[in-house]
Each structure stands twice: as C-alpha cells, then as structure tokens.
C-alpha cells in the first residue's frame, strides 16, 4: 500500500499502550477510524482482537504494535518512520468463525470469533457433548472439560495449549480440539475443512451446565451451539515484511 495520509490510533488501557498513544498521536496526528487509511492498534493480542471486531465493518487494514505481553498478532513497537513501515507492510486476510448458540431458556445469541469458539464446563462435573459435522453425528458422546473449534490464526492460542495442532495460514482447515478429554480416552480431536458446519449438543445440561465463548465473549447455560466459517466477513491485518502470520506459525512449531 502507499504511505497512508490518515492514521487512526487506538490503544488499550495498559499504561505502556497509553504512553505510546500519546507519543504517536502527537507525532503523526489522529483521525476517527471511519476516516482513516489504516488503523494502528497499540496493546496486546487481546486488544488486537477487540480492535478487529470493533472495526470489521470498515474494511480498513489494522496494524498492531505490541504494547502488551505476547503480541503474536502484533508488530514490534517503534515510533520512527511509521508511514513508511505501513507502506511496506504485508496484508493477511482472515475469515472468522460465526457462532450461533441457544440457551436452555430458548434465547439465541450470535457472535464472531477470529481465534476460536469454545464450549467449557460451568460447574463441578465434566461436560457431556454430542458433535455433529455437516448434519452427520461424528461423536455420540464426548466427556471432557470442553471442546473448541479453532481457525489457523487462533491455532497457536488456546487450541495449542490444549494440545491441538498448529494450522498453516491459508490451509482452509479448522481444528476441532478437546479440552482434557475423559471419554473417549484416545480421542485427540479432528481436522475439518473450512467449509464444515459443526454443531455441539449439550447432554444433561441441567446436571452439567456449559458456557460457550467466542474470542472470550461468553454465553452461559447453552443447550446447543452451531459454528461455521464466515467467508463474507474479512479482517485485514498488516505485518512487517518477513514477520507475517505464516512465518510466525512456522516459528511456533520450532520454539
């Protein structure tokens, strides 16, 4: 892209992020996101996800600079030559997961998830779930602390900590991963095509309450959850050359 003339800066509440916001806006100015050529997010991965969700209807690329902790989705922080860095940045386009959940009292909720949709036990007893893929029951009963469906971009996050696979960007694959499975003992999840539509039915929901989360946004006491990739929604993320998502996912496997 050409060097942007109008930059929108946004920052988390973390003090280093607020300090960076003051420095950068004083140096490069600041415009509202809807008027910007590019959005610069200052914080950590959680704030980057928040920014992507908040600006998903603008079709404006987001460039993150790490003022948080891990910063997997962020670039290194630097105040100098920012327009030139933005002009050289490489773009990755991500399609989120769309979650539809119905609670035990009949309420329906929808949400988008860039990383993963997870179902987690909300009580002392393990979750008991039935898993259906493209209208065919694939697992009659999973007893576990939970289960998740993760995108390639999210495969190094909660999915990886639950021993799920790291997925290459552009692989058109989703990871279905159990969290501390008890039955079946040997089930370690599955790789599904990006086009798959996955349904989770909560068994014995009165005894074993479940909550569903889409990138940390929770719906309590769910009865069933349906998840599929949403190709109509596009998140545009910018990375410094040589430090894009594909390279980062490879590096994670050799760390």
Type and span of the H or E element at 70: none
Single pTM value for the model: 0.89
Residue numbers annotated as active site: 45
Give the domain extent around 112: 97-229
* Residue 132 and residue 13 share a domain: no
58 lies in a domain? yes
Give the whole-angstrom CA distance, residue 82 versus residue 70. Answer: 21
User: Are 70 and 102 members of one domain?
Assistant: no
Rounded CA gap, 34 and 48, in Å? 17
Q: What string of DSSP letters covers 187-235?
A: ---EEEETT-EEEEEESSTTTS-EEEEETTEEE-SEEEEEEEE-TT--E
Q: Is residue 142 part of a domain?
A: yes
Residue 89 falls within a domain, yes or no?
yes
In-domain check, residue 164: yes
CATH number of the structural domain spanning residue 76 = 3.40.50.10330
Instruction: Flag whether 2 is in a domain.
Output: no
Q: What are phi and psi of 230, to 5 degrees?
A: -110, 95
φ/ψ bin of 61: left (φ > 0), alpha (ψ from -120 to 50), beta (otherwise): beta
Please report whether residue 18 resides in a domain: yes
1 in a domain, yes or no?
A: no
pLDDT at 188: 84
The answer to whether 69 touches 93, Cβ cutoff 8 Å, is no
Same domain (yes/no): 119, 72: no
Residues 195 and 183 in one domain: yes
Asked whether the beta carbons of 179 and 210 are under 8 A apart, the reply is no
- Return the CATH number at 187: 2.60.200.30
Each of the 255 residues of the chain gets a pLDDT tens digit; together they read 677 889 999 999 999 999 999 999 999 999 999 999 999 999 999 999 999 999 999 999 999 999 988 788 899 999 999 999 999 999 999 999 999 999 999 999 999 999 999 999 999 999 999 999 999 999 999 999 999 999 999 998 899 999 999 998 878 999 999 999 999 988 889 999 999 999 999 999 999 999 999 998 999 999 999 999 999 999 999 999 987 777 877 887 776
132 shares its domain with 44: no
Residue 196 resides in a domain:
yes
> How many domains does the structure of the chain reveal?
2
Identify whether residues 171 and 203 lie together within a single domain: yes
Residues in Cβ contact with 202 at an 8 Å cutoff, skipping those fewer than 6 apart: 119, 127, 128, 129, 208, 210, 222, 223, 224
Q: Which residues have CB under 8 Å from 225's CB, separation 6+?
A: 99, 100, 101, 102, 117, 119, 199, 200, 212
Shared-domain flag, residues 11 and 90: yes
Same domain, 126 and 36: no
pLDDT at 4: 85
> 28 and 117: one domain?
no
| Residues 181, 210 within the same domain | yes
68 and 141 co-located in one domain = no
Quick one: pLDDT at residue 170?
Answer: 79
Whether residues 213 and 103 share a domain: the answer is: yes
Helix (DSSP H) and strand (DSSP E) numbers for the chain: 5, 16
């Amino acid at each position: 892209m050409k060097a942007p003339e109008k930059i929108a800066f946004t920052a988390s509440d973390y003090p280093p992020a607020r300090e960076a916001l003051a420095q950068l806006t004083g140096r490069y100015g600041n415009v509202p996101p809807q008027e910007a050529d590019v959005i610069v997010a200052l914080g950590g991965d959680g704030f980057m996800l928040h920014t992507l969700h908040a600006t998903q209807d603008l079709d404006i690329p987001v460039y993150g600079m790490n003022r948080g902790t891990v910063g997997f989705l962020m670039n290194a922080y630097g105040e100098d030559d920012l327009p030139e860095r933005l002009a050289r940045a490489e773009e990755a386009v991500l399609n989120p997961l769309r979650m539809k959940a119905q609670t035990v009292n009949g309420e329906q909720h929808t949400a988008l998830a860039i990383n993963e949709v997870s179902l987690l036990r909300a009580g002392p007893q393990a979750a008991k779930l039935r898993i259906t893929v493209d209208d065919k029951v694939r697992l009659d009963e999973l007893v576990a602390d939970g289960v998740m469906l993760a995108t390639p971009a999210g495969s190094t996050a909660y999915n990886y900590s639950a021993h799920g696979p790291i997925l290459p960007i552009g692989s058109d694959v989703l990871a279905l991963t159990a969290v501390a499975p008890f039955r079946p003992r040997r089930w370690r999840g599955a790789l599904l095509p990006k086009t798959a539509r996955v349904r989770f039915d909560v068994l014995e929901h009165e005894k074993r309450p479940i909550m569903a989360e889409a990138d940390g946004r929770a719906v309590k006491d769910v009865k069933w959850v349906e998840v599929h990739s949403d190709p109509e929604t596009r998140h545009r993320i910018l990375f410094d050359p040589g430090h894009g998502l594909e390279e980062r996912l490879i590096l994670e496997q050799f760390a």
